[in-house]
Amino acid sequence: MSEPGLFCQVNTAASGPAETAKKHVPVINVPASVKAGQPFTVSIKVGEAPHVMENGHFVQFVDLYCGHIYISRVDLTAELSRPEVSVTVVLHHEGNRMLRAFSRCNLHGIWEGTKEVCVSK
């Protein structure tokens, strides 16, 4: 059974129930600093603890943004995939940039995780 309150907002580690957040907040792994215009890998794993990928309960997709700029979406299927993705990204503007990952669980709604990366010359 889904939790209706979780579908009324974008959930974060601070706003959602702790045990639920532990399995749903995307964890972003990226170098602390990258070169402007050079490709680098962003790895995203849904949850600190493993999330199930069963027919009745699974992560449907993972989206990646830089600030409010959309970068990528990876759609997932129950049983046949794991909620872990890697995306090669190129950022062109220098400065501290906030990467934002969103995951959607069919029973627990949308969850956001963030990680800052420094983009330099």
Model-wide pTM > 0.75: yes
pLDDT value at 97 more than 90: yes
Closest by CA position to 7, among listed 101, 28, 44, 20: 20
For CA atoms 77, 100, 47, 4, the dihedral sign is negative
Identify which of 63, 51, 57 has the alpha carbon closest to the alpha carbon of residue 106. 57
34-83 confidence digits (pLDDT tens) = 999 999 999 999 999 999 999 999 999 999 999 999 999 999 999 999 99
Percent of the chain with pLDDT over 70: 97
Q: What is the 3-state secondary structure (H, E, C) of the chain?
A: CCCHHHHHCEECCCCCCHHHHHHHCEEEECCCEEECCCCEEEEEEECCCCCCCECCECEEEEEEEECCEEEEEEECCCCCCCCEEEEEECCCCCEEEEEEEEEEECCCEEEEEEEEEEEEC
Of the pLDDT bands very low, low, confident and very high (cuts 50, 70, 90), residue 3 is low
Domain boundaries, the chain: 4-120
Quote the pLDDT of residue 89: 97
Domain 4-120: top CATH class = mainly beta
Residue 4's pLDDT is: 60
Question: Which pLDDT score is estimated for 112?
Answer: 97
